[in-house]
Amino acid sequence: MEFLKTLGIEDKNFGSCSGQIWGSTTTEGEIKVTSPTNGKYIASVYQCSEADYLQIVEKAEIAFREWRVMPAPKRGEIVRQIGLKLREYKEPLGMLVSYEMGKSLQEGLGEVQEMIDICDFSVGLSRQLYGFTMQSERPFHRMYDQYHPLGIVLTVSAFNFPVAVWSWNAMLAAVCGDVNVWKPSSKTPLTAVAVQKIVAQILKENNLPEGLFCLIIGKGSTIGEKMLHDKRIPMISVTGSTPVGQHAAEVVSKRFGKLILELGGNNAIIMTENADLKIAIPAVVFGAVGTAGQRCTSTRRLIVHDSIYDKVKESLLKAYSSLRIGDPLDANIHVGPLIDKSSVAAFTHALVKAKEQGGTVLFGGEVLEGEQYASGCYVRPAIVEAENHYAIVQEETFAPILYLIKYSGDVENAIELQNGVPQGLSSSIFTNDMRQAEMFLSPAGSDCGIANINIGTSGAEIGGAFGGEKETGGGRESGSDAWKQYMRRQTNTINYGKTLPLAQGIKFEI
């Protein structure tokens, strides 16, 4: 395919790069990548060795010493150039995201646009890494705080956003003065190889050191574990499942490393009795079936007031029956495939469990067959009448299953259901009642990191900090002041007087 050639993807690719220099290891196994869109082989990636990893970390340490003292606006200039280069490659990279991961072409292009946007955000941020000045209680003293780079930031990304999540971390970390090592999902390694080659062009043009932006594609049981235990890596950002995050937290916290955890979501939309269904129904459908339900912000539960329940159910069934499922490179389709057959198995297993626990499948649930679905990764998105306490509803199934849940009475009852799961990422309420909206956003409202009014749970903008609470991990990435996590905070006090007064009025004379 032409876009593979444009991006420099070869039939066989290497799994480590220190910036511009690629490794040559071929003895650690080969990841053969097939597209979930048609089951066809795309290309392969040789996994790196422990020796490759050690060499890259050594180069990253050396690069950090140079990068940390470069003025932040100069670092921002490099990020600006990366953003411009991504603009040049937006179409082929978006096509690769779609073809390798399975999300629609519109979403693939949108993900690359998100990379471009975070570059723009980071360029502005490079001139705003501010601290605060505080008033000292001691005369002729000045007190303030400032932020310094941490060192090596490791980004562990997931398959569902194979390039955007890396950019959230790498671009912010770069302007903060950190260097980045990237371990992408083994399910989508080719997009990582492509991005590394794009960034390498900027590194070469600016004569920047090896170790600034690095790539490691290797086994989680060996390379991944070594990364978690490596004291030379002060910060690790992990996007993945809750069990993966729990393990990372145990290991990294023991060595007092820092963590950003972006883990599971079990996101709900509340529809109150006065919801505007003209905007609510499309928001629910996109949230539930976009990226084939494989977003951490996908809508998994719909909590509907009993007075409009039947009308909402009817509208959803009509909308779902019109969904076009097929090749994500076709701009006219709504739903592409799941990432692989194990995800299909998880989808069908969840539906079996839902029925066993008392749920009713109202629509969908089939694994699609036929020539156009030859990869075996296509399913028909499902709607299931359920209750919030079902064990399967309490879990996150990374697939297009929407649980339809009824509530009665006041909005507080719906909020209790919304909060009644272990995860706390994204949430939404559709209402035209100001009091209901304010209650949802109050301390007694949604317990999620993201809470929206009259928009869905999916599709966060880069300007706001992204992340959630409870088993979602508590991390924040992207906008707002998330940059502070990539830096170490330092309080400074300067005595410009001729005496040495002590704080709290303590007297000490010798």
Distance separating alpha carbons of residues 85 and 479, to the nearest angstrom: 22
Is 385 in the active site? no
Distance separating alpha carbons of residues 371 and 374, to the nearest angstrom: 5
Helical residues (DSSP H) of 139-260, grouped into ranges: 164-176, 189-205, 225-229, 242-254
Q: Tell me the residue ranges of DSSP E strands in 346-438.
A: 360-363, 382-385, 401-407, 423-424, 426-430
Core vs surface per residue 108-117: b (16+ CB within 10 A) or e: bbbbbbbbbb
Distance separating alpha carbons of residues 77 and 62, to the nearest angstrom: 21
DSSP H/E element including 41: strand 41-46
- 């020796």: which residue's tokens? 51
Residue 457: closest CA among 486, 421, 485: 421
Q: What are phi and psi of 82, to 5 degrees?
A: -65, -40
Residue 484: closest CA among 465, 467, 462: 465
Candidates 296, 377, 396, 477; catalytic one? 296
Residues linked to residue 216 through DSSP beta bridges, in sequence order: 16
The two three-digit tokens of residue 496, written as one number? 């410009």
DSSP string of 238-265? EES-HHHHHHHHHHHHHTT-EEEEE---
Is 262 in the active site? yes
Look up residue 88 and give its amino acid.
E
Name the DSSP letter for residue 150: -
Look up residue 292 and give its amino acid.
A
Name the DSSP letter for residue 367: B
Candidates 28, 107, 114, 262; catalytic one? 262
Is the separation of the CB atoms in 350 and 364 below 8 Å?
A: no
Distance separating alpha carbons of residues 472 and 424, to the nearest angstrom: 6
Name the DSSP letter for residue 350: H
CA–CA distances in Å: residue 201 to residues 6, 152, 394: 14, 21, 46
Q: Which residues are catalytic?
A: 262, 296
